[in-house]
Amino acid sequence: MLKKRVSIIHGPNLNLLGKREPEHYGNMTLEEINSMLINRAKELNIEIDIFQSNSESEIIDKIQSLSSDFTIINPAAFTHSSVAIRDSLVAKKIKFIEIHLSNVFAREAFRKNSFFSDVAVAIISGLGPEGYVAALNYINQSE
């Protein structure tokens, strides 16, 4: 069977995980989350690549260059503002799962609006880093 290829995209300020508002985002650093995902991907025989950027244009360029079967994206603050990143995912016809570490529906009102959810395969919000693992598990068993 061909190896599935999954791209993981982390949006702005997620490079600060571990020190950033641990009451919302927990104590794991982005490096620790990424190693957990690399290990799980190995177990599932999935090929992954991981990208983080604080820049909207770099995220768009990354999406335009994707050749993976599936994407797992935490657009972070761009969730609530970026028509441009949404448009790049739609233009690329890429299947993606939207992830949030925190439960965005239990926070400020502006976080309830996402420019991504209606074009995502699914959203996972509030499971912390386990949300990324759940997304990988789902992709593993999907067609």
What's at 77, amino acid-wise?
A: A
Report if residue 13 touches ligand DQA, rule: CB under 6 A.
yes
Residue from 77, 84, 119, 127 binding ligand DQA (CB under 6 A): 77
Residue from 34, 68, 79, 88 binding ligand DQA (CB under 6 A): 79
Residue (4 or 78) nearer to ligand DQA, CB: 78
d(CA 107, CA 101): 12
Residue (62 or 100) nearer to ligand DQA, CB: 100
CB 96 within 8 A of CB 70: yes
How buried is residue 141: exposed, middle or buried, by Cβ count under 10 Å (0-12/13-18/19+)?
exposed
Residue from 46, 63, 76, 123 binding ligand DQA (CB under 6 A): 76
143: DSSP letter: -
Report if residue 101 touches ligand DQA, rule: CB under 6 A.
yes
Give the residue numbers annotated as catalytic, written as ranges. 25, 100
